Amino acid sequence: MKVCLVGYGSSNKEMVQFLMESGNTVYVSNNKALRPEDIKFLSEKGILYEEEHSTLLESSELAVVSPGVPPNSSASKIISEKNIRYTTEVEYAWMNIKRANPACIFVGITGTDGKSTTTSLIGHLLREAGYSTFVGGNIGIPLITAPMNLQFYVAEISSFQLYWGKRFCPEVSVLLNLAPDHLNWHTSLEEYYGCKISMIDNTLSSGGLAIVNQNIKNAMHKGKTIHFSGEMLENSYVNFEDRRIKVMNDFLNLKIYSEDTVSAVIACLNLGISENLIEQGLKSFKPLSHRIELCGNVNGISFYDDSKATNVHSAYNAYLSFRGKGYAALLSGIPKNEDLTELIEEVRNFSKITLVFGAMTEEVKKYPLDEKFVFCNNMEEAVKIGMNALSPGDSIIMSPAGASFDLYQDYKERGNHFKNIAQRFGGDS
């Protein structure tokens, strides 16, 4: 079969070897110049490529579309006009794993915020309970790299992946929350929400279990659905039906993680994990990098890296978790056509100072502000000003609310820069 990888992103790179070993003819169709190392790799493999979507894509029988390829792209137009079958790395891997290992169970996690933490937590709880488990997907580990003989596969799934992979159907689906996001990619808010809900529909249609935030009225579908809320985590206990699960983990007890913790506990209870093993797993879980990660303390001031908060909803919940405590807020990055009103109000009322830099500057200036808002040239200047405004016991929180691509390669590079600044300040103190 002639298979074309559309967009040569990180997820599709792992597909090359798999597809070739399966006897397919593989092409690559990109929308920009490939890196020299990518060209070298493809040439060594004998794979034809194009740096503008054209004849290779047009001649293909199956398109494996990178999640970054938007609906209004030239690739999307070609796929539609030529009636080319399409899928994603996640969907393709899922089909192959289920074909080889039909007894395995897939758990899919989607939503606007909290996907990575919830995915990692469910995977951690299953592994601690003794099950062979793969954790990957949009979290950064391609599903195509997973062994095919495991008991569980826990996958973070983005709206982009669900747009291009409409058949993906896990046995258990978790829909954490919905809020406006990626409106610079999706054609409408309805399309964005629809992509998320589609996974729930697939699971319920096949007789699986859906775990859905009770606030999502549009997802109140027929079938085996459990509705949850963050309020079910109270005083370090998850209260579900007649069970109380102790959460002996300060990180997971933060308000921002209540939905993640509750949904993960419910999922694992329904997968047959005992209360005792869940409690042990919760206790040993470590926070993810760049997600409200305590990364330093300088002169009694704590540094929190929340670079993964690339949308307004996520940043708002992060700052909400620090309400009543002294902190400096750092906002930055590329806005996603979201309303910042609620976030601006939160930091105006509860931060000691709010520092803004990068592409976010012009967006924030559209809102009513006061003297608390200070515009900076870069992150280092923002941190320096923030430190001068704080006292021992306070925190400086980098929860930016925007994508990192204005100044950084990705959110990880942005978070690491913040950590490096904290280390340098610590060395100067």
Kindly state the average pLDDT of the residues 285-300.
90
CATH number of 293-428: 3.90.190.20
Q: What is the pLDDT of residues 320-332, one digit of tens each?
A: 989 999 999 999 9
CATH code at 2-87? 3.40.50.720
**Tens-place pLDDT, residues 363-395:** 999 999 999 999 999 999 999 999 999 999 999
d(CA 146, CA 137): 10
279 to 151, 207, 257, 264, 287: CA distances (angstroms): 21, 29, 16, 12, 16
Q: What is the DSSP string of 291-311?
A: SSEEEEEETTEEEEE-TT--S
> For the chain, what is the radius of gyration of the CA atoms?
22
CATH superfamily of 91-284: Mur-like, catalytic domain (3.40.1190.10)
C-beta separation of 287 from 351 below 8 A: no
Q: Which amino acid is at 203?
A: T
Tell me the C-alpha distance between 247 and 236, whole Å: 5
Closest CA to 144 of 4, 10, 338: 10
Per the listing, tokens 């309400």 go with 323
Whether 425 has a pLDDT exceeding 50, the answer reads yes
pLDDT of residue 195: 81
Q: Which residue has the higher pLDDT, 194 or 417?
A: 417
Work out the percent of the chain whose per-residue pLDDT is above 90: 75
For residue 219, pLDDT beyond 70: no
Domain limits, the chain: 2-87, 91-284, 293-428
